[in-house]
Amino acid sequence: GLDRITFVVHDWGSALGFDWAMRHESRVRGLAFMEAILGPVPSWEQFTPQGREIFKKLRTPGVGETMVLDHNMFVEQLLPGSVVRSLSPAEMQHYRAPFVERTARKPMLAWPREIPIAGEPADVVTVVSRYRYALCQSQLPKLLFTVEPGMLVRAPLVAWCRASLPKLDVIALGRGLHFVQEDHPHAIGEHIAAWVRRTRAG
C-alpha cells in the first residue's frame, strides 16, 4: 500500500483525503489544501443568497437533475463562474470531454447533495465532524492556500484554521474564487514543492 503520502486536496477531494488521512495518520507525511471542506456547514445562512438558491435547487429532486444532467450546469456555468480569469475555448473543451453523455454527469449531481449542510446528510456530518476534530489534534504538517474572496474558505474560516490547526502554514495567493488552480497553478506548485522540501528537511 501507499505510505508517507503528501495529500494535495481541494473541495470534495479534501473531505475524502482528510477522512483517509486522519484514519491512517502514520502513513501520511503532510496535508496541503485549498477551498477545502473543513467542517459541516451549520446552516444555510452561511451561503451567499445566490449560493443558497443554487445549492437548494441542486438538492431538490427533479430540479437538480435538469440543472446538472440536462444542462450540464457545473461545467458550463459554475466552473467558469468560479475562476477569475476567462477559460479559453480549448480549456472548456477539455472540461466538457468527460461529461458529454448525460449519465456521465451523475457524480456532479451527487456531490453537492452530499455537502453536510444544517445537519444533513447525517452520515456525512458525522464523518466530516470526526475528521475536523482529528485535524485539530494532528501534528502533521499542513499547508493552507487562501484566496480573496474565496468561496468555501473565506476570512472567518481562515482565522479558525490559524487558531485551531497545529503545524499550519498559510499562503495567500491573491484573488480567487473556488477553482484556484486555474488562477494560480504555478504559485501553488512552487509553494508545495518548497513546503515539501522544508517538511522533509525538518
Task: State the catalytic residues.
Answer: 11, 35, 178
CA 99 centroid distance within chain: 20
Q: Find the helix or strand (DSSP H, E) in which 109 lies.
A: helix 106-114
How many angstroms separate the CA atoms of 14 and 93, rounded? 26
**Full DSSP string of 6-66:** EEEEEEHHHHHHHHHHHHSGGGEEEEEEEEE--S-B--GGGS-HHHHHHHHHHTSTTHHHI
All cell numbers assigned to 75? 461545467
